[in-house]
A and B are shown apart, each in its own frame.
Chain A
Amino acid sequence: MSPLCPVYTIKSRKGVCKMAFKGQQDSLSLASKTGGRLIREGFSFKNILQKNGELRGKIIILTSAFFIIAATMAITLFLTLQGLRAFTVDGINIIDFITGTEWQPNRDGNPSYGALPFIFGSFAVTVLAALVAAPIGIASALFMTEIARKWGQKALQPVIEILVGIPSVVYGLIGLSVIVPFIRSQTGGLGFGLLAGAIVVGIMILPTVTSIAADAIKSVPDDLRHASYALGATKWQTIYKVIIPAALPSLLTAVVLGMARAFGEALAVQMVIGNARGIPDSLVDPAATLTTIITLSMGHTTSGSVLNDVLWSLGLILLVMSYVFILIIRYLSKRRKLS
């Protein structure tokens, strides 16, 4: 980060400092002949640290780096170990688990743990939410950066920041008291279902998508715009043919980040999705996702039971998916650098 030159300066400066210290030590050692105690205090561990602020700073800072690494490793490790228990200890077939459509953990004699409905639900909510959020988000970003450059930013930036700050349960509550009754009145069903979940989560990830998309569009160099206008292109032609292709990897990153958030959202979705056990027949049929079943069942299981282990396996799927999203984002950013 810091340029090489100042670093060298520090090193040479440090040498100078040390020499200065040496001079002090000489005078101290003179003092040692008269009174020994002072010296020992002068060279206590604490004092060395105080004098050598550089070392102290490094220790503070490395502790933090260590903590970050430890937390990441611990989460990955513990979740993997705990998530694999269902297959290694309880003998559940991993393929049956992923493709099974029957979730009957409490059935006497023949419990069945098919996670497909939840996996399907999670992906469906994520994709639908992206379909809600991506067009509106990218369009708002275009508005901020291309159409109303001067005041669009000023007007929309606070809106985005406030929307990001609103807690997810509040979105869930809105979904429960506005969106679900609305869908109910339109379709006649219960109103709970994938559609309600997707709308709630879509609104929730909208600010994330918008702000990252706006950054992406802003970073397109102005030369491209000028060139396009000079060719006589209209604003829309410039946006469509020049700006969007130039910013495409970053725009996709924005959408993928939003999807990652949507995939992991728990309580807001749980409040509006209806919590059924099977694969839904339509968008307005009650469904469930990985996060909702964990939310609802985790508290009722005892650690070590088969159901508990299976829930950890569902958690492992969430973890694996968040790694997959990171890999996708990495791939996109590599493309961004190439283009």
Chain B
Amino acid sequence: MNSRLLNRLAISLIVACAVVMVGTLAALLGYILYQGVSQISWSFLTSDSSAFQAGGGIKNQLWNSFYILFITMLLTVPLGTAGGIYLAEYAKQTRFTAFIRSCVEVLASLPSIVVGMFGLLVFVNYFNWEYSILSGAVALTVFNLPVIVRVTENALCSVSEEQRAAGLALGMTQWHTIKKVFLPAAFPGILTGVILCAGRVFGESAALLFTAGLSSPNLDFTNWNPLSANSPLNLFRSAETLSVHIWSVNSVGIIPDAKEVAAGAAAVLVISVLTFNLVARLLGRIVEKKMTGK
């Protein structure tokens, strides 16, 4: 075949593939939002879910998702950034460092259901936390830590060498340089990464199945005592999140309007994740502008 013709053919095929990918995303988002947005109403967002009747809402699931996200981030962000700082700034090329890197790699590539099983064994059964928000959040921390570590490491590595030298030349200790020079310089990058990560945690389901449970008590939003059983703040109650709810109404649930509930919940989930995405970009850009003064 003529090489020009082949060239043209191959390139149109490549373009077609790219179009397929963009088309898939557009179709996916369009479908979810088109099907789901009509289901979303104030009462859908603010009523308890029902176990076998039609007309249940997602109030508790929505709250649980955000609450677990919050607790997970509370645990992950300090640990993860510290780990990233260690790998980017302190770690020398030793076996120990290589070992930590391998551990990060292993943790990052574990299937989330394996993390869930580990959580079931250790947090739920061994520590006797039962199916609870705490078990779920700690399992997600294990799952999420390597991502934050990498985000931090990458952000720190992209800080310019001049800033490093300048900090040290002022006679500051290494830790002080990191705290006062690197972390501010890398902050936009870390922030963006962390928020994107939050989107991931928000949609995670398999790891929560065996740790946070498949049911949620009907929460009493006037009771903010963290020790009472149906308080939204209680760490030791079972908590079904939004994404687990989507799965369970389709797979193990028996409510007649499963399809509508799932569509509505999926739309809420996708809108939240898109919001995280958007906020991450905007905030990253704004913070960077402020910090660099450009």
Contact = CB atoms under 8 A, between A and B. Distances in A.
A143 B107 CA distance: 32
Contact of A326 (B31, B89, B106): B106
Interface string A133-176: 00111011011100100001001100101110111111111101
A32 interface: no
Interface in B214-264: 214, 243-244, 246-247, 250-251, 259, 262-263
Contacts of B142: 71, 75
Contacts, number: 276
A319 interface: yes
Contact of A264 (B92, B113, B247, B269): B113
Nearest to B121: A78
A78 B111 CA distance: 15
B103 to A, nearest CB: 4
Contacts of B206: 168, 265-267, 291, 295
Interface size range of chain B in the complex: 35 or more
Contacts of A147: 11, 14-15
A236 B107 contact: no
A166 B168 CA distance: 42
Interface stretch (B38-46, B75-83, B284-292): B75-83
A178 interface: yes
A58 B90 contact: yes
* Secondary structure class of chain A's binding surface, majority of residues: helix
B204 A271 contact: no
A144 B15 CA distance: 9
Contact of B114 (A1, A203, A322): A322
A291 B13 contact: no
Nearest to A144: B18
Contact of A60 (B10, B82, B172, B210): B82
Q: Which 8 A-B pairs have the closest CB atoms?
A: A264-B111, A167-B203, A57-B175, A139-B17, A64-B82, A143-B18, A234-B7, A64-B83
Interface of B: 3-4, 6-7, 10-11, 13-18, 20-22, 24-25, 28-29, 31-32, 35, 78-80, 82-83, 85-92, 99-100, 103-107, 109-115, 117-118, 120-122, 125, 142, 145-146, 149, 157, 164-165, 168-169, 171-176, 178-179, 196, 199-200, 202-206, 209-210, 214, 243-244, 246-247, 250-251, 259, 262-263, 266, 269-270, 273-274, 276-277
